[in-house]
Amino acid sequence: EVQLVESGGGLVKPGGSLRLSCAASGFTFSSYSMNWVRQAPGKGLEWVSSISSSSSYIYYADSVKGRFTISRDNAKNSLYLQMNSLRAEDTAVYYCARALNFGVVNPVGYWGQGTLVTVSS
């Protein structure tokens, strides 16, 4: 069974930093592209970033480019999101999400339960 468990969320002040982690199990982590998707309270889904299986391809939404860094450690079956220069508008539940199939072009097939990041003074 595919399992994705996020951690690292919490309360942080504007301008601060936070590192999210996602522990993956139940599949061959190194074979799949991974994503971060966020959802502000009461709002819709926003794609944040994606990384290919070998980290060769990395993409960011314009809203986070230059502030967030996605990475993965295939030996540890883990996905990360380093978030710097945080703003109030970054407040959201952050979901770790796995591609449906092998390859770069894929929808999100599996989702974690999310971790809440709150940016407030």
Partner 1 sequence: EIVLTQSPGTLSLSPGERATLSCRASQSVSSSYLAWYQQKPGQAPRLLIYGASSRATGIPDRFSGSGSGTDFTLTISRLEPEDFAVYYCQQYGSSRGTFGQGTKLEIK
Which is nearer to partner 1, 57 or 73 (by Cβ)? 57
Q: Report how far residue 30's alpha carbon sits from residue 11's, in angstroms, rounded to the nearest whole number.
A: 31
- Asked if 1 is part of the footprint of partner 1 (rule: CB under 8 A), the reply reads no
Of these, 22, 51, 108, 117, which contacts partner 1 (CB under 8 A)?
108
Of these, 61, 77, 84, 118, which contacts partner 1 (CB under 8 A)?
61
Q: Report how far residue 91's alpha carbon sits from residue 10's, in angstroms, rounded to the nearest whole number.
A: 10
Which is nearer to partner 1, 27 or 59 (by Cβ)? 59
User: With the C-alpha atoms ordered 56, 62, 65, 70, is the resulting torsion angle positive or negative?
Assistant: negative
Size of the site for partner 1 (CB under 8 A): 23
Which is nearer to partner 1, 51 or 83 (by Cβ)? 51
DSSP assignment of 61-102: -TTTTTTEEEEEETTTTEEEEEE-S--GGG-EEEEEEEESSS
- Asked if 53 is part of the footprint of partner 1 (rule: CB under 8 A), the reply reads no
Residue numbers of the site for partner 1 (CB under 8 A)?
35, 37, 44-47, 50, 57, 59-62, 95, 100, 105-109, 111-114
